[in-house]
């Protein structure tokens, strides 16, 4: 029964997938290359815009990522799909704003161990799309798109899964204090570590988890070196509680936060070496970014958004603008890109490179960044929507960003503020969102209002997946 259900689902998804993504220049690139490129997405958790050496951190050393940025593209206006884990990941996986899939909510910000929902089966993931064109697929790391069997990576297009199904601070043995979160013990978090659909360790030994994610990635690359592969490596770090293995603990001048970033960077270096030794380096595109901004209430245990305002949980720039690097030696045109990009765009960009199809039966929010990556052309994305839960709080159009609603990340008192006219900032002049200029630019506000109107005209909100609870409401 389960098998026939899943083959019917697969058949329906095949029908939903339309033509291959269409940039002529990308098509030319695809056909000129004999082997399909491998794709590796490295997704950090809660890493801020200012937390890498190459993005300006004075005491965090990230030599491998810095080199990738120098030899590839460093994107300085690249956005996660949301400012917290679950909706952000849903956006990356589907190329659709999370409000369309129902993977965001005004009741719960993310999925929890007692959540009954997850990424709906009707959604098509990038893993499903590339698997249809012959890719071997692995999800290694934190999933957070539903921990019940129908929602796990192995039911969402991944041949292999190794990781934790939700955040590393969940399943607390009791309600832990801030002090306990910042001086953490592995045994206080009863988070399961899974291989495919089986729990293999509980609590997951978080001291060695970053290292093991790297090792699993390298193993998957070696085992599949003769096939095209797609790996989504979603590190659990640097989400608190922070853990690093012995080799890194106590080494960074930035403290434990710096240790965890250094261990991720070291893993990147080991993966690069592996690709080189297998002669796959010239045929592999690597994207590095993060799911949302720094978790500021944890003070020095959270990261830094650098010059951007605020952090995780907000629709200020620090909540969603991420340090992003694209790397593919000999293919990507080395440069710094200030144009707008988003994790939402990875679906169509990867589909164009792999020959995978982009769904034609639904609205996609995903653009092919190929012309920027490979030819240095301006980014095709000019608009970014900033949702909090199911509500549109802000919109960026070109240099300008209008905030219709603002709210601090986690305070319990009612600090929601509506703005009419919206607060307006010029992000090119003022990336820190300090100088409000709405009075000087009514025409920009009018243009952005029109964009919102058109966006909402054909917006169908997905059924709220985050509010569903096991045995409950």
Tell me which DSSP letter residue 196 carries: T
The residue within the footprint of Mg ion, chosen from 17, 21, 23, 45 (CB under 5 A), is 45
206 touches Mg ion by CB under 5 A: no
- Minimum Å distance from CB 47 to Mg ion? 9
433 touches Mg ion by CB under 5 A: no
Within positions 263 to 322, which residues make up the interface with Mg ion, using CB under 5 A? 291-292
Structure tokens at 379: 């980014």
Question: Whole-angstrom Cα distance, residue 55 to residue 49?
Answer: 7
Within positions 450 to 469, which residues make up the interface with Mg ion, using CB under 5 A? none
Secondary structure (H, E, C), 29-79? HHHHCCCCCEEEEEEECCCCCCCCHHHCCCCCCCHHHHHHHHHCEEEEEEE
26 touches Mg ion by CB under 5 A: no
The residue within the footprint of Mg ion, chosen from 85, 97, 242, 332 (CB under 5 A), is 85
Q: Which is nearer to Mg ion, 48 or 117 (CB)?
A: 48
Q: Is 85 a catalytic residue?
A: yes
**Active-site entry in 144, 239, 301, 403:** 144
For residue 72, whether the previous peptide bond is cis, meaning omega lies within 30 degrees of 0, is no
Q: Which stretch binds Mg ion (CB under 5 A): 79-87, 126-134, 180-188, 211-219?
A: 79-87
Question: Whole-angstrom Cα distance, residue 195 to residue 179?
Answer: 31
- Minimum Å distance from CB 290 to Mg ion? 7
Crossing angle, helix 346-354 and helix 85-94, to 10 degrees? 30
# of chain residues touching Mg ion (CB under 5 A):
5
Q: Is 144 a catalytic residue?
A: yes
Question: Whole-angstrom Cα distance, residue 446 to residue 444?
Answer: 5
Are the beta carbons of 306 and 55 closer than 8 angstroms? Answer: yes
Contacts of 114 (CB under 8 A, 6+ apart): 469, 470, 472
Question: Whole-angstrom Cα distance, residue 20 to residue 5?
Answer: 26
Question: Whole-angstrom Cα distance, residue 140 to residue 197?
Answer: 13
The residue within the footprint of Mg ion, chosen from 30, 44, 46, 83 (CB under 5 A), is 46
Q: Which stretch binds Mg ion (CB under 5 A): 18-26, 85-93, 221-229, 426-434?
A: 85-93
- Minimum Å distance from CB 109 to Mg ion? 10
Q: x-or-dash pattern for Mg ion, window 368-407, by CB under 5 A?
A: ----------------------------------------
145 touches Mg ion by CB under 5 A: no
Q: Which is nearer to Mg ion, 45 or 368 (CB)?
A: 45
Contacts with Mg ion by CB under 5 A lie at: 45-46, 85, 291-292
The catalytic site residues sit at: 85, 144
């Amino acid at each position: 029964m389960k098998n026939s259900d899943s083959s019917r689902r697969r058949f329906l998804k095949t029908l939903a997938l339309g033509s291959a993504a269409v940039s002529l220049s990308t098509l030319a690139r695809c056909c000129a290359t004999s082997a399909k490129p491998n794709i590796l997405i490295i997704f950090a958790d809660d890493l801020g815009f200012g937390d890498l050496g190459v993005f300006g951190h004075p005491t965090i050393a990230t030599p491998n990522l810095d080199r990738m940025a120098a030899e590839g593209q460093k994107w300085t206006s690249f956005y996660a799909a949301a400012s917290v884990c679950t909706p952000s990941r849903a956006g990356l996986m589907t190329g659709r704003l999370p409000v369309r899939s129902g993977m965001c909510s005004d009741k719960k910000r993310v999925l929890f161990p007692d959540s009954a929902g997850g990424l709906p089966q009707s959604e098509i993931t990038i893993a499903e799309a590339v698997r249809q064109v012959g890719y071997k697929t692995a999800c290694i790391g934190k999933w957070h798109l539903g921990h019940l069997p129908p929602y796990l990576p192995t039911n969402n297009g991944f041949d292999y899964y190794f990781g934790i199904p939700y955040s590393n601070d969940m399943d607390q043995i009791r309600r832990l204090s801030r002090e306990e979160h910042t001086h953490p013990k592995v045994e206080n978090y009863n988070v399961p570590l899974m291989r495919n659909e089986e729990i293999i360790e509980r609590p997951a030994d978080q001291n060695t988890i970053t290292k093991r994610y790297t090792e699993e990635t390298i193993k998957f690359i070696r085992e599949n070196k003769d096939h095209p592969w797609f790996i989504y490596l979603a590190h659990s770090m640097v989400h608190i509680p922070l853990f690093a293995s012995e080799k890194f603990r106590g080494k960074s001048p930035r403290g434990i936060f710096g240790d965890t970033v250094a261990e991720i960077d070291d893993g990147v270096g080991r993966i690069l070496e592996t690709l080189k030794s297998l002669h796959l380096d010239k045929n592999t595109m690597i994207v590095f970014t993060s799911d949302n901004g720094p978790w500021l209430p944890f003070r020095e245990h959270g990261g830094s958004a650098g010059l951007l305002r605020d952090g995780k949980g907000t629709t200020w720039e620090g909540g969603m603008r991420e340090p992003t690097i694209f790397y593919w030696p000999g293919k990507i045109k080395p440069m710094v890109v200030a144009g707008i990009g988003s994790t939402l765009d990875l679906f169509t960009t990867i589909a164009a490179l792999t020959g995978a199809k982009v769904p034609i039966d639904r609205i996609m929010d995903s653009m092919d960044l190929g012309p920027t990556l490979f030819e240095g052309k301006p980014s095709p994305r000019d608009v970014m929507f900033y949702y909090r839960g199911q509500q549109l709080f802000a919109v960026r159009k070109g240099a300008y960003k209008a905030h219709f609603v603002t709210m601090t990340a986690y305070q319990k008192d009612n600090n929601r503020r509506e703005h009419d006219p919206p607060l307006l900032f010029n992000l090119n002049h003022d990336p820190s969102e300090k100088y409000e200029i709405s009075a000087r630019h009514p025409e920009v506000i009018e243009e952005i209002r029109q964009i919102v109107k058109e966006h909402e005209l054909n917006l169908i909100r997905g059924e709220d997946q985050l509010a569903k609870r096991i045995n409950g409401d």
